[in-house]
């Protein structure tokens, strides 16, 4: 939807969050003004058609004088009665809007059907007008009675159709509140189907009926010549073309505008913007489409928030794997690289400093680790007090997991020394086979790795606290890495790790 069109609608109807009192006053003024103008135009149509199709050269002086008095009086009376009926009926039906309540099913149904009910009131007033002016014609100029009935009937159909569109337009903010948060309902108003029938009545049935009546008059009376019949057809065509075009444009805009709003919002969602929300401004199936879109986006936002929160707890890689399929207990054997890191002297640090400072230090420490592990597509699997377990090569496959783990250990050690010089850390890296998967109970489980590689990384991390640079890696991990990473490491010594019988070759930073 073009920005200037959206602006013009908001200028007339007001913003979605406007106060209830302002909404009520705005709707009442808009309805009253537009309906009065429409009925005045209808009266002008009656005058024009009466002069064109009245036999014998048009209305005579006495009949014209009667019309000059009766038309303004009836129009004024009809406007007052119609406005009163419509206003009182609308205010009574929209009491929930005034009180800013959530509508019941009955109140919602009544609000959505108000345009149609108000249109029926318009039709009733014009039906009365046709009776009144036909009786006047029969009393003063009987040969004009059929012409008057025809003119008032055509004008009544045109005015009522336009009044329906005007009423529906003015009550869009009410329809929006009635449909808020609802993606489906059986309480729709007229609906798109009934609207199209109304427009068919105006654009097809009315002119055809007018031509039928004009032809019948021409066939049954001898005082209507060809010229006057041509004037009748031209006048009828002018009315239908002008007002038919107006109604068609209004109808097309009322249908296209909600569709365009959904189309534009879909494009934004496709670009990843889930903060979009459509202003529901239609009381038909199109309004349900808008409301349903808002419900869909709300669900997507909740899903994204849950997935983001889930990813913060278990890691984005695990979250993606979990949401891609059914998550079940069990695991698989994988070759992974494990990084274990633990603070040095954290107990003493916590004893000598306020709790807030300790928490801030831990957050900065964990922040460095998470940032560097994520940068290399690893998984921060556990925070264990002031220790961290990170995995490379699970749950997602990673061909260079050993190089990634070694690079992460090397950069983390350098950043801790540079950014947090008042603390120290030991980092261990090991590569080997491990069981990776979901362990626990069906009601509560977590993704983790179990195996010799994890135990080795923990033992190396303990020993790394006494090694220059604070990092100790299994030689097998360095051997698995490429030449680009191997140049940063040198052989250390073979160590019999706790729980093992054979020595493990190790490497430290060059």
What is the distance between the alpha carbons of residues 490 and 492, in angstroms, rounded to a whole number?
6
Average pLDDT over every residue of 402-409 = 95
With cut-offs at 50, 70 and 90, classify the pLDDT of residue 3: very low
- Tell me the average pLDDT across 208-227: 67
Spacing of C-alpha 49 from chain mean position: 48
Average pLDDT over residues 424-451: 83
Look up the CATH number of the domain holding residue 364: 3.30.70.1230
Average pLDDT over residues 291-305: 82
The CA distances from residue 28 to 6, 31, 486, in Å, are 21, 5, 79
Which residues contact residue 237 at a Cβ distance below 8 angstroms, ignoring those fewer than 6 apart?
207
- 181 plus 284 within the same structural domain: yes
Among 283, 300, 317, give the residue marking a domain's end. 300
Which residue segment(s) compose the domain that 500 sits in?
327-509
Task: Pick the range with the lowest mean pLDDT from 143-157, 225-239, 241-255, 355-369.
Answer: 225-239
Q: Give the DSSP H/E element, type plus range, for residue 155.
A: helix 145-170
Confidence of residue 75 (pLDDT cuts 50, 70, 90): confident
Q: 424-441 and 471-474: which strand pairing?
A: parallel
The more confident residue out of 313 and 363 is 363
- Compute φ and ψ for 399, nearest 5 degrees: -65, -35
Give tens-digit pLDDT for 32-67: 777 777 777 777 777 666 666 555 555 677 877 777
Residue 362 lies in a domain: yes
The Cα–Cα gap between 291 and 299 comes to 12
Question: What's the confidence (pLDDT) of residue 2?
Answer: 43
Q: What is the DSSP string of 66-99?
A: HHHHHHHHHHHHHHHHHHHHHHHHHHHHTHHHHT
pLDDT value, residue 91: 64
Residue 494 — φ and ψ, nearest 5°?
A: -85, 130
Tell me if 310 is assigned to some domain.
no
Distance CA 53, CA 228 (A): 7
Query: Once rounded to an integer, what is the mean pLDDT over residues 4-12?
Result: 50
> Which carries the bigger pLDDT value, residue 96 or residue 134?
134
| CB contact burial 101-129 (16+ within 10 A = b; e otherwise) | eebeeebbbbbbbbbbbbbebbbbbbebb
pLDDT tens digit sequence for 256-284: 878 888 888 899 988 888 888 887 766 67
210 and 147 within one domain = yes
pLDDT confidence of residue 463: 93
Query: pLDDT tens, 117-129?
Result: 778 887 888 888 8
Tell me if 318 is assigned to some domain. Answer: no
- Indicate whether 111 and 256 sit together in one domain: yes
Over residues 368-374, the mean pLDDT reads 92
Quote the pLDDT of residue 220: 67
Q: How many domains does the chain have?
A: 2
pLDDT above 50 (res 6): no
Tell me: do 407 and 460 sit in the same domain: yes
Question: Does 251 share its domain with 339?
Answer: no
Cα distance from N-terminal residue to C-terminal residue, the chain: 63
Claim to verify: residue 153 and residue 246 sit in the same structural domain = yes
- Say yes or no: 289 and 365 in one domain: no
Both 272 and 382 in a single domain? no
469 pLDDT above the threshold of 80: yes
Same domain assignment for residues 296 and 408 = no
Same domain flag for 213 and 258: yes
Decide if pLDDT at 464 tops 90: yes
Give, as one character, the DSSP assignment of residue 440. Answer: E
- Identify whether residues 335 and 408 lie together within a single domain: yes
User: Quick check: is 11 in a domain?
Assistant: no
Cβ contacts of 12 within 8 Å, gap of 6 or more: 30
β-pairing verdict for 504-509 and 489-495: antiparallel
Output the pLDDT for position 390. 93
Confidence of residue 473 (pLDDT cuts 50, 70, 90): very high
Query: Given a cut of 60, is residue 158 above it in pLDDT?
Result: yes
Q: Quick one: average pLDDT of 462-476?
A: 92
Q: How far apart are CA 160 and CA 38, in angstroms?
A: 9
Q: What is the mean pLDDT of residues 362-370?
A: 92
Looking at residue 144, its pLDDT comes to: 72
For residue 77, pLDDT over 50 is answered with: yes
Partners of 333 in the β-ladder: 435
Query: Is 65 part of any domain?
Result: yes
- Residue 389 CB: number of other CB atoms within 10 A? 21
The share of the chain scoring above pLDDT 90, in percent, equals: 19
pLDDT at 470 over 80: yes
Predicted pLDDT at 1: 44
Mean pLDDT: which of 309-318, 374-383, 402-411 is highest? 402-411
pLDDT number for residue 11: 61
| From 61-65, 311-315, 465-469, the region with the lowest mean pLDDT | 311-315
Q: Is residue 195 part of a domain?
A: yes
pLDDT in the model for residue 373: 92
Average pLDDT over residues 314-336: 63
User: Of the ranges 82-91, 424-433, 494-503, which one carries the lowest mean pLDDT score?
Assistant: 82-91
320 part of a folded domain: no
189 pLDDT exceeds 60? no
pLDDT for 174 beyond 80:
no
- Residue 503 belongs to some domain of the structure: yes
Phi-psi region of 505 (alpha: psi -120 to 50; beta: other; left: phi over 0): beta
Task: Pick 503 or 7 by higher pLDDT.
Answer: 503
Verify that 174 and 243 share a domain, yes or no: yes
């Amino acid at each position: 939807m073009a920005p200037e069109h959206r602006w013009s609608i908001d200028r007339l109807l007001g913003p979605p969050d406007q106060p209830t009192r302002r909404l009520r006053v705005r709707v009442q003024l808009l309805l009253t003004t537009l309906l009065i103008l429409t009925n005045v135009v209808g009266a002008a149509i009656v005058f024009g058609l009466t002069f064109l199709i009245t036999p014998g050269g048009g209305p005579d002086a006495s009949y014209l004088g009667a019309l000059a008095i009766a038309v303004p009086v009836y129009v004024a009376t009809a406007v007052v009665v119609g406005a009163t009926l419509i206003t009182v009926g609308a205010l009574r039906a929209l009491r929930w809007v005034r009180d800013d309540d959530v509508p019941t099913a009955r109140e919602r149904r009544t609000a959505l059907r108000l345009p149609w009910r108000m249109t029926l009131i318009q039709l009733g007033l014009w039906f009365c007008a046709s009776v009144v002016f036909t009786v006047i014609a029969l009393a003063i100029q009987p040969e004009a009675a059929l012409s008057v009935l025809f003119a008032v009937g055509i004008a009544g159909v045109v005015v009522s159709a336009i009044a329906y569109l005007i009423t529906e337009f003015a009550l869009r903010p009410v329809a929006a509140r009635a449909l808020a948060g609802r993606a489906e309902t059986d309480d729709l108003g007229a609906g798109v189907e009934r609207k199209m029938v109304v427009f068919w009545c105006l654009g097809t049935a009315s002119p055809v009926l007018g031509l039928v009546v004009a032809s019948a008059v021409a066939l049954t009376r001898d005082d209507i010549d060809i010229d006057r019949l041509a004037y009748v057809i031209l006048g009828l065509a002018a009315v239908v073309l002008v007002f038919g075009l107006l109604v068609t444009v209004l109808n097309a805009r009322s249908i296209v505008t909600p569709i365009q709003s959904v189309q534009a919002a879909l494009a934004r969602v496709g670009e990843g913007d889930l903060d979009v929300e459509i202003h529901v401004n239609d009381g038909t199936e199109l309004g349900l489409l808008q409301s349903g879109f808002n419900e869909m986006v709300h669900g997507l936002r909740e899903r994204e928030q849950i997935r983001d929160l889930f990813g913060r707890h278990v890691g984005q890689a695990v979250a993606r794997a979990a949401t891609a399929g059914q998550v079940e207990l069990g695991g698989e054997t994988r070759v992974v690289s494990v990084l274990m890191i633990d603070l040095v002297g954290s107990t003493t640090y916590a004893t000598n400093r306020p709790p807030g400072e300790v928490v801030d230090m831990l957050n900065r420490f964990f922040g460095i680790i998470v940032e560097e592990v994520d940068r290399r597509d690893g998984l921060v699997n556990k925070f264990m007090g002031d220790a961290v377990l990170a995995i490379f090569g699970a749950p997602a496959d990673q061909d260079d997991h050993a190089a990634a783990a070694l690079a992460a250990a090397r950069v983390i050690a350098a950043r801790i020394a540079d950014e947090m010089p008042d603390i120290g850390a030991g980092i261990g890296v090991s590569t080997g086979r491990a069981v990776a998967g979901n362990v626990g109970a069906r009601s509560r489980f977590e993704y983790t790795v179990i195996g010799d590689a994890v135990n080795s990384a923990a033992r190396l991390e303990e020993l790394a606290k006494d090694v220059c640079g604070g990092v100790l890696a299994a030689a097998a991990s360095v051997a698995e890495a490429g030449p680009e990473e191997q140049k940063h490491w040198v052989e250390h010594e073979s160590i019999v790790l706790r729980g093992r019988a054979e020595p493990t070759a190790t490497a430290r930073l060059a």
